Amino acid sequence: MDALVLLGSFVTLMIIGMPVAYALGLSALIGAWWIELPYDAVMIAIAGGVNKFSLLAIPFFVLAGAIMAEGGMSRRLVAFAEVLVGFVQGGLSLVNILASTFFGAISGSSMADTASIGSVLIPEMEKKGYPRDFATAVTVSGSVQAILIPPSHNAVIYSLAAGGSVSIAALFLAGVLPGLLLGLTLAIMCLFIAKKRNFPKGRSIPMKEALRICVDALWGLMTMVIILGGILSGIFTATESAAIAVIWAFFVTMFIYRDYQWRELPKLVHRTVKTLAIVMILIGFAASFGYIMTLMQIPTMITGLFTSVSDNKYTVLLMINILLLILGTLMDMAPLILIMTPILLPIVKTLGVDPVHFGMIMMVNLGMGLITPPVGGVLFVGAAVAKLPIEKVVKALIPFFGALLFVLAAVTYIPALSLWLPGLLLK
């Protein structure tokens, strides 16, 4: 009955249209009332949820990504990707995917990736003879790389939801190979489609111009080196690397590229703070919701439910994948990580699944949810940038879903994809 009151109130509040964060907080209060827990305990849980040093990584990474996104970095990364792969048949689709790889390693945000890369490449691809819906599908699916490739904001949220027991540095490194595998899979599929549909070849860029483009893009690409290099060398932690990334992004944007106006900077900071306020409210309320779930022993009950169906690790992971794929279409990624990690992580740990590996399984799963209706935030951004109906973009995305499911299966059943790099570099 306890679980029915807590989860039922949450679902009811969601159905009537209450924002997820407030639905979590209010249902936590309802649950506390039901089990006769003092409301003070709920308030303490909310405060404790956001009173964590590691959480500072999120605002710093978001601000660094916003500065680079609006400061001309996306245009330079597109030009750099064109130098590398733009000359083959269907080259602009490869440019799109590779630019998303680079930009994801700077912004850590799929929405920022879709908005910035899409605004540059969707019109350009259409002008060169690619269907607009195909260009949008490439942009949207390619942006899922930003969830996997460091610095991923969602990896920080997963570490928090796991009780801080999972290293952010390990999660960053674990996302590298799955992210690159996703990019490679999408690239191979685009080459096949380009040959089948006879898409045009891109131009070969002269050496002198190519060198200028590479040097120009190098300043922004150094952000990746600063973040990962600093963490792996032990010079600073993941949180400190985020602060350094902000300083570097500000320096490159305002003093090297100089495409951004100083008078626009306060507006950018204001937009970032508004976004972060929503995220922090969500994290605090989710912490209180998780606290009430623990008191009601809901994770233990769900663990028993899964293990009663099967004690085979691969079968349970398949069931979890199906569950997360369904939930990912109905709710945004961050709240799902915060809600489902405390429930599912104990289940997979009893089966011997590494928490870092499971984090990558969740990232790919819920990343697919971001581009799937009816609540696919990245899908909506891509459709808005392309000025296309959602239905047309979804239809074009169908083969890309196949590529994503292949990557999900590989990440789920080949743990080395996630664990080899952290094991090698964080000994």
Half-sphere exposure of 207 (CA within 13 A, CB side): 0
**Would you say residue 312 has pLDDT above 80?**
yes
Q: Which two tokens stand for residue 37?
A: 């827990």
Q: How would DSSP label each residue in 43-109?
A: HHHHHHHH--GGGGHHHHHHHHHHHHHHTTHHHHHHHHHHHHHTTSBTHHHHHHHHHHHHHHHHH--
Report d(CA 398, CA 337) in Å as an integer: 25
**Would you say residue 232 has pLDDT above 80?**
no
Report d(CA 66, CA 112) in Å as an integer: 8
pLDDT band at residue 83 under the 50/70/90 scheme: confident
Report d(CA 346, CA 172) in Å as an integer: 22
pLDDT in tens, 277-288: 888 888 888 888
| Residue range 247-275: mean pLDDT, rounded | 85
**Would you say residue 92 has pLDDT above 90?**
no
CA distances from 273 to 63, 280, 364 (A): 9, 10, 27
| Residue range 365-393: mean pLDDT, rounded | 87
pLDDT band at residue 427 under the 50/70/90 scheme: low
Q: Which two tokens stand for residue 101?
A: 């790889």
**Would you say residue 220 has pLDDT above 70?**
yes
8 Å CB contact between 148 and 182: yes
Report d(CA 339, CA 157) in Å as an integer: 11
CA distances from 327 to 70, 177, 274, 335, 339 (A): 32, 25, 26, 11, 11
Predicted local confidence at residue 276, as pLDDT: 82
In the three-class reduction of DSSP (H, G, I as helix; E, B as strand; rest coil), residue 359 is classed as: helix
Please name the residue that has the structure tokens 């990896």.
155
| Residue range 113-139: mean pLDDT, rounded | 88
In the three-class reduction of DSSP (H, G, I as helix; E, B as strand; rest coil), residue 117 is classed as: helix
pLDDT band at residue 142 under the 50/70/90 scheme: very high
pLDDT band at residue 363 under the 50/70/90 scheme: very high
The segment with the largest mean pLDDT, out of 7-16, 197-206, 228-237, is 7-16
Q: For the whole prediction, is pTM greater than 0.85?
A: yes
Query: What is the torsion angle, in degrees rounded to the nearest 10, for the CA atoms of residue 18, residue 23, residue 25 and residue 26?
Result: 80
Dihedral sign computed on CA atoms, order 114, 116, 118, 119: positive
- Helix/strand/coil (H, E, C) string of 247-312? HHHHHHHHHHHCCCCHHHHHHHHHHHHHHHHHHHHHHHHHHHHHHHHHHCCHHHHHHHHHHHHCCC
Quote the percentage of the chain above a pLDDT of 70.
100
**Would you say residue 123 has pLDDT above 80?**
yes
